[in-house]
């Protein structure tokens, strides 16, 4: 059994606030971590980690906490604050539009699109941000957990949206996380490319100045057939709903699709990069 630890400063982050509130209400009921875990369907070890702010709760954990403790919506709202606190300004609204879209077109530059990232790849990106001092470890954990939830909501549903992803060649060439992580990531890309609702194309370096986008761009067709655009800079994200700018983005995206490598040629490039990585002894 994992022993309960000393109190955590509940003002330090949304993650520790969630844990402190969970511990407070559990104790008010006179329950041990074992008892709460049993009622929620989770291990007492996970309850302990969440209470101490050592592991971010999932949306399902928050819902089960509300059910077990009789606090409708409270823990789910605390989870939403955790998820949003670590995100780029404008990103939570984008994630909401993304979760409801029926068609998604994306262009990514430098890194694999978030929806396609394996956990080790995503964790490596966030670990580097922690080392630079850009974010805290708690925020890094929150971002990785939020990404996993996005992927689950969009890719694992019974009728997933049609996804068309164009990646700049640089996305394949940057060995995020090192050789082994990148090999696993490329394997995952190949698996995704085989799904009937996902198309992956590579925009080769040879496009040079003819590549229309200098920043990542996402176009999301909503259930009412309206299209929402999203782009971001280093500091913030921006949602675009106006018809004229969206039409311009769609025209440029169509041109990008035409000028990028075909599906077959793109898959061949992914496999070739993977083969090159297998020959490396270390990075």
Has residue 128 got a pLDDT over 80?
yes
Note the CATH number of domain 91-279. Answer: 3.30.870
Pick the CATH number of 14-85 from 3.20.20.70, 3.90.1860.10, 3.40.50.300, 1.10.260.40: 1.10.260.40
CA atoms within 13 A on the CB side of 68: 27
Per-residue confidence (pLDDT) for residue 87, from 0 to 100: 58
pLDDT over 70, % of the chain: 89
Per-residue confidence (pLDDT) for residue 153, from 0 to 100: 84
Per-residue confidence (pLDDT) for residue 29, from 0 to 100: 94
Q: What are phi and psi of 202, to 5 degrees?
A: -110, 130
Contact 37, 44 (CB under 8 A): yes
Q: What are phi and psi of 15, to 5 degrees?
A: -65, -45
Has residue 150 got a pLDDT over 70?
yes
Per-residue confidence (pLDDT) for residue 60, from 0 to 100: 86
Of 92, 87, 57, 89, residue with least CA distance to 75: 57
The span from the CA of 44 to the CA of 35, in Å, is 8
DSSP of 40-51: HTS-HHHHHHHH
**N residues, the chain:** 283
The span from the CA of 7 to the CA of 214, in Å, is 48
The span from the CA of 38 to the CA of 12, in Å, is 28
Give the start-to-end residue ranges of the domains of the chain.
Answer: 14-85, 91-279
Give the mean pLDDT of 271-283.
83
Has residue 220 got a pLDDT over 70?
yes
The pLDDT mean for the chain works out to 87
Find the range with the poorest average confidence among 86-90, 204-208, 223-227, 238-242. Answer: 86-90
Give the mean pLDDT of 81-102.
72
Per-residue confidence (pLDDT) for residue 96, from 0 to 100: 77
Residue 228's DSSP bridge partners are 220
Q: Identify the residue with better confidence: 3 or 104.
A: 104
Give the model's confidence band at 233: pLDDT under 50 very low, under 70 low, under 90 confident, else very high: low
Q: What are phi and psi of 177, to 5 degrees?
A: 80, -5
Per-residue confidence (pLDDT) for residue 137, from 0 to 100: 87
Do 14-85 and 91-279 come out as alike in CATH topology? no
Give the mean pLDDT of 180-200.
97
Per-residue confidence (pLDDT) for residue 7, from 0 to 100: 43
Has residue 265 got a pLDDT over 50?
yes
Has residue 4 got a pLDDT over 90?
no
Q: Token digits for 192?
A: 């995704």
User: SS3 of 31, please?
Assistant: coil
Find the range with the poorest average confidence among 85-94, 197-206, 213-222, 253-262. Answer: 85-94
Per-residue confidence (pLDDT) for residue 21, from 0 to 100: 93
Give the mean pLDDT of 1-25.
65
């Amino acid at each position: 059994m994992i022993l309960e630890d000393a109190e955590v400063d509940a003002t330090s982050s949304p993650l520790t606030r969630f844990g402190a509130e969970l511990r407070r209400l559990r104790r008010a009921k006179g329950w041990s971590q074992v008892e709460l875990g049993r009622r929620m369907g989770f291990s007492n070890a996970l309850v302990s980690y969440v209470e101490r702010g050592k592991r971010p709760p999932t949306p399902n954990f928050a819902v089960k906490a509300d059910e077990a403790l009789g606090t409708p919506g409270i823990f789910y709202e605390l989870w939403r604050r955790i998820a949003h606190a670590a995100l780029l300004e404008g990103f939570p609204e984008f994630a909401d539009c993304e979760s409801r879209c029926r068609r998604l077109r994306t262009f990514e530059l430098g890194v694999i699109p978030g929806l396609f990232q394996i956990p080790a790849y995503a964790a490596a990106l966030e670990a580097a941000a922690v080392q630079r001092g850009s974010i805290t470890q708690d925020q890094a954990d929150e971002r990785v957990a939020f990404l996993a939830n996005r992927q689950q909501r969009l890719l694992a549903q019974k009728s997933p949206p049609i996804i068309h992803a164009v990646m700049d060649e640089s996305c394949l060439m940057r060995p995020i996380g090192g050789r082994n992580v990148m090999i696993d990531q490329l394997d995952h890309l190949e698996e995704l490319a085989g799904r009937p609702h996902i198309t992956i194309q590579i925009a080769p370096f040879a496009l040079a100045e003819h590549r229309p986008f200098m920043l990542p761009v996402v176009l999301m067709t909503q259930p009412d057939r309206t299209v929402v655009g999203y782009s971001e800079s280093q500091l913030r994200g921006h949602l675009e709903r106006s018809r004229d700018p969206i039409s311009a983005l769609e025209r440029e995206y169509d041109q990008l699709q035409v000028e990028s490598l075909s599906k077959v040629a793109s898959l061949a490039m992914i496999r070739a990069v993977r083969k090159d990585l297998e020959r490396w002894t270390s990075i």
